[in-house]
Structure 1
Amino acid sequence: MKRLLLAAAATLALAGLSTADTAPTPAKGSLMANVKAGEPMRMIYELDARAMILIIPATGRASFNVELKPNTYTIKSKVRTTGLADIFVNYDMELAASGHVRGGTLKTSGYVSQNRDGKKNRRVELSMKKDGFTMNATPRFGNLGEPPATQEQAILANDPLTALITFALEPRAKGADPCGGPIRVFDGRQLTYLHMKNAGRANVKSPAWSGEAIECHVTMDKIAGYDADELDKNDTLTGISGPLRMYLAPLENGSHVPVRIVADTDKVGKVTLQARTLRFEPLETAAAQTGGAGGAR
């Protein structure tokens, strides 16, 4: 149930997005170009989730604090259920990622996931280099899937946090599909490819942004690291019927940030995530600014 409620956040932000096939040079005037030119930035981003369990609303929230410097980055995230959802599920995760900025995109060097679900409370530590990865899980996984991810496969992917932020911030080449992809994600065990299909444009209104957004439909390939009973080829995204619908805000700084994500699930019906907070601020002055969920257009 907890994965159903936050499936989109867990798939797009916490179980899911990574780098595209190419790493284009940052377009002049894009956010990544400005960061590379010596203007470190901070991105504050929050997603709220809402679903119905029987007749009782269940809610969740995923927050991201991204610090971008010319050659390095860090991302910190929290995902949790809130309000009445705690009656049914206990989902509380803290995640962190760090790495390098290369060619206008981000590449994982380290990733830590700490889950406090009241059961296993598993901590996963992932270290990635150009030639491979190491992973330590406490408590250990019973197995690493059938088949497990190989070193060669894993190093082509990014961790879930870096994946989401890379997808949002990487510049799109002129004339390229704004939905991007394919997207490769590795969380230390599971390797997943997400495929994006452009479905046109739609008007979106969220607390953080309103306007004409780009609609992308997301389907999933489970490449490695899954148990045999998880490899249902009719499953697009775990627990989700049909493609997940993601709406991107094309921002003036060159970003394409998901501001609404909608999924029809088998057990709790429609789950909707929408951006609650979305803002960019200079990194050197961000610490002095407090409060306020500013909007971005």
Structure 2
Amino acid sequence: MALRRPLAAAVFLALALPAGLLLAPREQEARAALPNQAVLTYDLRLGGFDIGRAEVSVALPPSVAEGPYRISADVAASGMLSVFTDFRSSAATDGALAGATVRPRLHEVANVWRGETRQVRLAYDETAPMPEALVEPPPEADEREPVDPAETVGSVDPLSGALQLVADGDGEAGPVKIFDGRRLYTLALDDPEPASVSVRGFTGPALRADLRYERLGGASRKWDSRKEATASVTLAPPAALGLPVAVPLRVVVPTTGFGGFIIELAEVRTGTPG
């Protein structure tokens, strides 16, 4: 069961993660109109073993200062982990950037864990201070401390929060307040330093920074989850991979007894619709 937390970390820490969420035709047309598009594929490893793969699709406006964005992501267990679980996670977000600040509109997640379907829908309205959340199973049935809706004021969804962290591209951002429907937490990037990196999807100069997580609410009564954690993240600079934002190349999450959880870029497919 301890494997569940590292795999879930991919969603929080890898900009990450739709095996089944489909955009309506009008939203597909809107996505096609966005010029900066890429599909990023990540390998997930724990203790040197392949345990999963994530595919993140990003569509951004001409400038991160203004315009709509859409992000979707799939993550699924593979390798050693797939022997023990059928874990799959699908997520999709659309929103708009205003003054380089994310303004999410809708965030949807569908997960499968040990045959159980788990869903989240967060709807945002400019006239409301907090998102409207539909969560299944609810916190009480999930043995989780509920988050007071008032505490979610000013929060964004995980994918929008990840975009906010990399929008400036300088390795320093946040803290960003994030509510995923079950947990309330902050993520921040700090202590950036120059680095050189070589992964299958990129070779060249980059930035290495600390990614800091702090849980504010929604602790599980079943899992001994940490209140604070720090990961190391390596970022490709803006435009290096065809997007106007920094792109995570490698994320290393320290774990106890597993030798570290690593998320690493494996492939990049970019393109501008014609």
Using structure 1 for the length normalisation, give the TM-score. Answer: 0.73
Q: CA deviation at 1:122?
A: 1.0
Partner of 2:149: 150
Q: How many Å separate the matches in 1 of 2:89 and 2:221? A: 26
Partner of 1:67: 59
- Aligned to 1:269, the other structure's residue is in SS state coil
Q: How many Å separate the matches in 2 of 1:218 and 1:136? A: 28
Where structure 1 has 5 or more consecutive residues not aligned to the other structure, the ranges are: 17-37, 238-242, 286-297
Partner of 2:104: 108
- Aligned to 1:11, the other structure's residue is in SS state helix
Q: Is the 8 A contact 1:40 1:67 kept in 2?
A: yes
Partner of 2:271: 281
Q: How many Å separate the matches in 1 of 2:235 and 2:15? A: 18
Q: Is the 8 A contact 1:149 1:190 kept in 2?
A: no
Q: Is the 8 A contact 2:173 2:189 kept in 1?
A: yes
What amino acid is aligned across from residue 77 of structure 2 in structure 1?
A: T
Where structure 2 has 5 or more consecutive residues not aligned to the other structure, the ranges are: 18-32
1:80 pairs with 2:76: yes
1:262 pairs with 2:252: yes
Equivalences, count: 248
Which one of the candidate residues 47, 51, 54 is aligned to 1:52? 47
Q: 1:104 and 1:3, CA in 2 relative to 1: closer, same or farther beyond 3 A?
A: same
Q: Is the 8 A contact 1:2 1:90 kept in 2?
A: no
Alignment identity in percent?
A: 24
- Aligned to 1:6, the other structure's residue is in SS state helix
Q: How many Å separate the matches in 2 of 1:125 and 1:10? A: 16
Q: Is the 8 A contact 2:16 2:54 kept in 1?
A: no
Q: How many Å separate the matches in 2 of 1:272 and 1:15? A: 14
Partner of 1:29: none
- Over the aligned positions, Cα root-mean-square deviation in angstroms equals 2.8
Q: Is the 8 A contact 1:8 1:261 kept in 2?
A: no
What amino acid is aligned across from residue 182 of structure 1 in structure 2?
A: P
Which one of the candidate residues 38, 45, 48 is aligned to 1:43? 38
Higher relative contact order (CA 8 A, sep 6+): 1
Q: Is the 8 A contact 2:201 2:265 kept in 1?
A: yes
Using structure 2 for the length normalisation, give the TM-score. Answer: 0.78
Partner of 1:248: 235
CA offsets per residue over residues 141-168 of structure 1, 9 Å max, x none? Answer: 31695462434x4242221122223323
What amino acid is aligned across from residue 211 of structure 2 in structure 1?
A: V
- Aligned to 1:171, the other structure's residue is in SS state coil
